[in-house]
Amino acid sequence: MEITEIRRLIDLEDTHWWFRERRAVLRAEVRGLGQARSRPGRALDIGAAGGGNTRVLAEAGWDATAADPSEEAAGAARARGLTTVRADARALPFEPSSMDLVTAFDVLEHVQEDYLVAEEIARVLRPGGHALIAVPCDMTLWSAHDAAVGHVRRYGRDSLTVVVERAGLEVERVWSWNVLLRPFVAMHRRRSAGSDLRRMPALVNAGLSAVVRAERYLPVRSLKGVTLFLRARLRR
């Protein structure tokens, strides 16, 4: 991702509806994982940018580390008081079986060798540890936005599952997110000339948050959305 896009992301991730509502998904998932353990363990947030997701992990009691290849992003996360390393997701500077949880939101789609990232996630996880992954869904939504933010591909359920399972992880669940807004996103992306990362009016931001929040209570996770979430576990 180009430095200008990284700076936009860092600037927006605390307030933009997209990032705020995805953090709500992450918060619910890590809460459940934490409750299933005697205590939260060690967590690694790959592609952490400014550390918005890392803070969710830390607030939930995990010993969380932010990892990002960009010095700009790593510096922003470090400035926010987070334990941070600058690292390529294809070659993580951590010992095997050293993590109880790895999160990778908007990472795989940026890497040509996505299988290497999945293999590194499996390598650093302890047996029984979990991975939470989020990627953009469906190549029919490909647009100038994807090119502008450095995407290599978008995923279907099968293609994402294959990459994760070949790395030795057991997929527990795959679900769609941002389903209700998909028709509007598709329409917007057809006219898009570049990145969608931009600040928007407060009322619009709040309205879009409310629409996506409604998905928590509706049976839409099996339908096509804009993003795919996946939870996997390293076999014991």
Rounded average pLDDT per 10-residue block, the chain, 236 residues:
75 90 95 76 95 96 95 90 96 98 97 98 97 97 92 97 98 98 91 82 96 96 97 93
The pLDDT of residue 1 is 62
Q: What is the CATH number of the domain that holds 78?
A: 3.40.50.150
Query: From residue 63, how far is each of 37, 60, 103, 133, 159 by CA, in Å?
Result: 14, 9, 13, 19, 31
Domain that holds residue 57: 3-234
* Number of domains the chain is built from: 1
Give 3-state DSSP helix, strand, coil % of the chain, rounded to 5: 45, 20, 35
The pLDDT of residue 6 is 78
pTM of the model: 0.93
The pLDDT of residue 32 is 84
CA-CA-CA-CA torsion sign (220, 198, 139, 233): negative
The pLDDT of residue 36 is 65
The pLDDT of residue 7 is 81
